[in-house]
Structure formats: C-alpha cells, structure tokens
Amino acid sequence: MKVPLPPAPGTSKHPCLALVNSIVTLPGEHQVDELSSPENATAWLVMHHLAPEGTGLLEYCQLQLTNLRGDLRGVLESHIEGVAPDPASLDGINRALTAVPSAAPLRYQPNDGLFRVPNHPVTQLVDHAMATITEDAASLLTGPVAHRIAQCASRPCDRFMIRTHSRRQWCSERCGARQRANRAYARKQDKSSAG
Ligand SMILES: [Zn+2]
C-alpha cells in the first residue's frame, strides 16, 4: 500500500528519506508500510529507480531493507535530537555503505580448495540499492543541509523531511491542517474548562 500523502519535502531528491518515510502512522494509529511484503518492497525499489523492472525480491532482501530503514530512522532521530546515535544502527548503515555488490566471496572446501561463489543476483541488486541509499544518507547527514533535517510535528505522523524554511514543522498541507485543528480544539477545551 502506498502512503496516501504527497512526498515530504526533500524526499524526491534523497532516497534515504524515501526509505525512512516508507512507513508512516496516520491519524487513528493506522500504520501504512510500503515494504510490507517482498512484492511491495520490490515495487518500492522499482518505483524509486533503485532496481530494474522485473526484479523479484526474496523475503531475506525485504528484511535487509526494513532493517536498514530501522537503523536509518534511529540515526536520523538522534541527529534531530542532537544525541549520540545507537552504535548498532551506525554499524548497520556502515555495513550497507561498504558492501561491494560485485564481490564474490572466497570460500574453502577440503576437496575443492579455495573457490568463489557469486552472490545471488537479486541479493546483489539489493546490496547495490542499499549502498546507494546509505551513501545518500551519509552525505546528507554531514552536508550543508544537515541542520534542516526534521521530523513532522503533526503527530501521529512522524515522517522525515528537509525543512524548506526554518519554521516549517510539518511534512504536508494535510498534516499542517490537522495540527491547526488540534490547536484550535485544545484552545476551545482550555476556555471551556476555565469558564
Ligand atoms: Zn506529517
């Protein structure tokens, strides 16, 4: 299922933001996950030009991608809060960042000696996609707009974005309207309880 909101600011330029925003909680605590199955994860990669049409992800690859999403979300959150990231999440990102998709691992068998087995082609594709995503994340987090990375303030939405101006607090018009309505409601409640 596709997230029924327009892309958050910065998402179309940054595959790392597209990945972290592929899961979102909508009002009513209803969660939409675009990577909820190997088929959906495949469609997501193809849609973001991270894998060619006709790719078929395995469950293992889907899990790799959702794990990376969790690591990226964690590191982005700590960046926004200005606290140290979880070392395990940083490791996860670095593993994806430094994976060389074309390298066939070296193996040994007593009868055959040393030999190399090429990775499954789909695994290679996913490794390549994850290297692209983490390269983007690493340069975004250390680049000139790193201080503008933010999370939507209109709960329950928690999408990540790059602020287009310093006071922007929400990822979409819809979230902004909800936030304003919530504030107006809170003010009304305040008044009636005070009076
Ligand atoms: Zn939002």
Within a domain: 67: yes
Within a domain: 6: no
**Would you state the pLDDT for residue 27?**
84
Distance 153 CA to ligand 1 centre (A): 7
Within a domain: 162: yes
**Would you state the pLDDT for residue 120?**
74
State the total domains in the chain. Answer: 1
Distance 145 CA to ligand 1 centre (A): 20
Distance 171 CA to ligand 1 centre (A): 4
**Would you state the pLDDT for residue 1?**
65
Distance 128 CA to ligand 1 centre (A): 29
Specify the CATH number for the domain of residue 37.
1.10.3300.10
Distance 90 CA to ligand 1 centre (A): 25
Question: 30-33 and 106-109 as β-strands: parallel, antiparallel, unpaired?
Answer: unpaired
Distance 85 CA to ligand 1 centre (A): 23
- d(C-alpha 41, C-alpha 38), whole Å: 5
Within a domain: 21: yes
Kindly give the interhelix angle for 121-142 and 87-98, rounded to the nearest 10 degrees.
Answer: 120
**Would you state the pLDDT for residue 139?**
97
Distance 192 CA to ligand 1 centre (A): 29
Closest CA to 54 of 117, 125, 107, 112: 125
**Would you state the pLDDT for residue 108?**
94
Whether 126 and 57 have beta carbons less than 8 Å apart is answered as yes
**Would you state the pLDDT for residue 166?**
81
**Would you state the pLDDT for residue 130?**
95
pTM of the model: 0.85
Within a domain: 10: no
Within a domain: 2: no
Within a domain: 81: yes
Distance 170 CA to ligand 1 centre (A): 5
Mean pLDDT by 10 residues, the chain (195 residues): 85 97 88 95 94 89 96 98 97 92 83 85 88 97 96 93 89 91 84 68
Distance 143 CA to ligand 1 centre (A): 24
Within a domain: 83: yes
Structural domain of 103: 15-194
Distance 157 CA to ligand 1 centre (A): 5
